[in-house]
Structure 1
Amino acid sequence: MEALVETSPVGVVVFDAGSGDALSVNREAARIVEGLRMPERSPEQLLEVITCQRADGREVALADFPLGPQLSTAETLRTEEIVLSVPDGRMVKTLVNATPIHAPEGGVESVVVTMQDLAAFEELERMRTEFLAIVSHELRTPLTSIKGSASTVLAASPGFAPAEMLQFLRIIDTQADHMSGPIGDLLDAGRIATGTLSVAPEPSEAVVLVDRARNTLLSGGGRHTVLADLPPDLPRVLVDRRRIVQVLNNLFSNAARQAPESSPIRVTAERDGVYVAISVSDRGGGIPPEQLAHLFQKYAGAGAGERGLGAGLSI
């Protein structure tokens, strides 16, 4: 039993109900409170400075209220979120259960407290929210284009030119194909994490790749002027065409969302040794310096007003 408790993924602390002393602290419980440790205090002294904030907002400073009398009230807790904090502001959010153990002659002998660190659960919730933001980001452009083209065709007068109607139908067909792409792209996010993302590079013209991405933006209802400044003597590049167009689509889409409609989006390219560097710039608010190091990580930027979202960036 001691071995099971010690290796449990849930923190377990057993308190003496009379004195309030911790009789047993397993490995996970010690890890949870380790971040609250103060260098000049022993683990036992940590109880003297911890404040517990309960789910209803009540705060209990263990130094002001002897732990023994509190435990002897035999209060049972079930899955209550309690924030443990110390005076310097450090804190940890936990999910706590407390069960009193009664002595044979009556009264409370000890209290078993289990705790789970909620940091991992909050991280999962953050990733879920960011994943949904990426799905929205990836599908918004083709949906807007399909809706706009379909509405135009449906509202067309009898004299509407067949060639124009055919063009709108082509846009609908193309954007419907684009919508199937993001589904696979989202699955690719997992392959990126495991290093198994596959690419199929082939010689390509950089100007053609930029034009494809620009046309996607404009056909999707983009209102920005896209100014391209690409030298005519650029060499061909060895790239996975679909992946690179996806990356450029991401950059165009993010620029269009962040920049004023009256300002242009600029695309430049230059030879950089054996590479070709393509840059997309806008006159939006920019990216906070502290986020730059994380910009191309999976799901990066979703917490900052959807700045820099999209599977294309991580690819």
Structure 2
Amino acid sequence: MTSTSTDITDFQFSTADWAERDRLPIFREQIGRMIVKLDPEPLVDGAFHAEANVRELPGLGVGSWTCANLRIARPRELLDGTDDLVLTIATSGIMNAVQRGRELKLNPGEGVLMSSAEAGNMSVPLSPTRFMGLRLPRKALAPLVADPENMLMRALPANTEALRLLALYIRELDDSYRLTSPELVRAVVTHLIDLGSLVIGASRDGTAMAEDRGLAAARLAAIKADISENLGYGDLTISAVAARLRLTPRHIQRLFEGAGSTFSEFVLGQRLARAHRLLTDPRRIDSTIGTIAFESGFGDLSYFNRTFRRHYGATPSEIRAAAFLP
């Protein structure tokens, strides 16, 4: 478990890191009952697996889990007096959720809202299942959602933009966000609450507010992720990104303008950063500068050399030479 100066607590574990005979006792007593207030047990006799990356932010919690052959319950004796709502999204595999006498099967991309104030459980089969969880305080949702209680234990469909973007935003939070300031932490918390409210069913005023904040931030994160995935293609255009994400080019332009940048500036910066990484990677020491430029999406070597030198204050050859000085 680690803490940061911005009031964030990160907690990671994997049962694969423990001796087989110790896995269930450690997971059940030290992790389950003491930390996450859950009671895990194998669904059927045999091997089980669990790993998680749980992050506590001011005002909410977020986690990414991978489990197999487990039933994870919150019995009455582990209820801790909180009445937060927990939004769970299945990202791969299938899982079952039980609460209030109802049982729901979740397929990939589907979600369910449950209450932390009531007993319930989730189970995953022998095959690995990945899911994400977002713990949302009711008071934070109150200005945005008229009646979140009405959405408890109802299947949330996979094809909504808000659910897809929330899952992507949580992945980006795990993979690439560096929450280095209180202002950035507050912004991320607001965005997650906004996206959660849209998934649950925000009111008209709440929808307008959430779309201007969290939805816009998540769309921009999705655009940047798409650009990164397609950076090596020389014909990467705003129209192509817009078509893949079902947005308009003008909307993408407005999102970048709101962040103080442009689509072209971001693409160029990412291509230059990739080229710099490849030039300083010992595994790519035998690759020519032309090859690296091409792999980074540059079709014109002279343009690459010119823009690289302008950006880094040195030529690609100089950067490579400095990286491998004895």
- TM-score, normalised to structure 2, is 0.20
Larger radius of gyration: 1
With structure 1 as the length reference, what TM-score do the two structures score?
A: 0.20
Higher helix share: 2
